[in-house]
Amino acid sequence: FNGIFGPYCSQSEVFGEVASTLVYKLFEGYNGTIFAYGQTGTGKTFTVEGDETGHDRSAKHGLIPQVLSLLFSLLEEMQDDCVSVQISFLEIYNELAYDLLGTVMPANSNKRDLPRVLVALAGNKTCITHGLSIHNAQSEYDARKLHLKGRMNKVMAETPCNGRSSRSHTIFTILLTRQEKDSEIVYKSKLNIVDLAGSERLSNEKSDNQRTRTKHINLSLHHLEGVIIALQKLKSNSSYVPYRNSLLTMILQDSLGGNCNTTMIATLSLEKDKLKESISTCRFAQRVIRVVNRPLINKEINNEALIRNLKKEIVQLKKSHHDFKEVL
């Protein structure tokens, strides 16, 4: 493993080691993904989201609030550049995708009232999310407000391991577009911060609805593991990777063996009766670290800026030509 955090490490320590470098690389045009994986009740959501209750809230800020804080502080230093930030927040629940920023849902409302998102893979293996809203964020306040709105719409439920557990996968995405002054090159990058639902034993669930939900979660995590195993076999001339087996793996296709800097956080329990699950998490992390990604700088030419700069160059050349003729 690249690092180990003890039970008393601070949220800022985790952010500094795991996420800060990915934020800086966003401005260079590199994609990034951070995903938290582990059994229910081991601290995934606290690590990713944080806790906004009680005193000293800033000390309990998770990765998302801290990423947004650093992102917008860096933006203030780039006033000469043209930069835009957009946010989306997607949830996968019972193998259906929902837009967490589509509308504000009342407490205890039906999940089917949230806007549905259709997920598909294009011919070039690009993931397309039909119906997922993308929101402009002009400031850290705007972005934090969007994050809070999405959190309020997440599916939470009681489990044997956690009194209020996230029972869905969520993907918070930051889209960054940057163009330097007097340049026709546009950098487009994204950062996914993923909170995976925790695995849970079916024998622990009491109702049919709970068992159905747990089956979907466990199957989704199983397909994620299947993709990781297949990516390891690519070295032995096996070319098929089953990204299409689940919504989660379709959406994270770039993050798993693709054009992305990806970091996994494995969360573990210190309890002896959870030892089997903790070992399973460690084994999965060992598989993930062997996957090879190929991150590239994502840039394109802004045709309008290119034409504008070429016109400037023509004017300068004409002036130089005129000055040269006068000298002669």
Q: Where are the domains of the chain?
A: 11-327
State what percent of residues in the chain have pLDDT above 90.
Answer: 59
262 in a labelled binding site: no
pLDDT at 201 over 90: no
Q: What is the mean pLDDT of residues 169-187?
A: 92
Residue type, 186: V
Q: What is the mean pLDDT of residues 58-85?
A: 92
177 in a labelled binding site: no
Question: Whole-angstrom Cα distance, residue 70 to residue 77?
Answer: 11
39 in a labelled binding site: yes
50 in a labelled binding site: no
- Return the pLDDT at 251: 95
Q: What is the mean pLDDT of residues 130-147?
A: 96
Mean pLDDT is lowest, of 41-50, 106-115, 149-158, 216-225, for: 106-115
pLDDT at 111 over 60: no
**If pLDDT is split at 50, 70 and 90, which confidence band does 106 have?**
low
Architecture of the 11-327 domain: 3-Layer(aba) Sandwich (3.40)
C-alpha triplet 312, 313, 317: angle, nearest 5°: 120
Q: Are strands 185-195 and 32-38 parallel, antiparallel or unpaired?
A: parallel
44 in a labelled binding site: yes
- Return the pLDDT at 59: 81
Indicate the average pLDDT of the chain.
86
43 in a labelled binding site: yes
- Return the pLDDT at 124: 64
Yes or no: say if 97 and 169 are a contact pair by the CB < 8 Å rule.
no
170 in a labelled binding site: no
- Return the pLDDT at 173: 98
Residues 6+ apart with CB under 8 A from 60: 11, 46, 50, 51, 52, 54
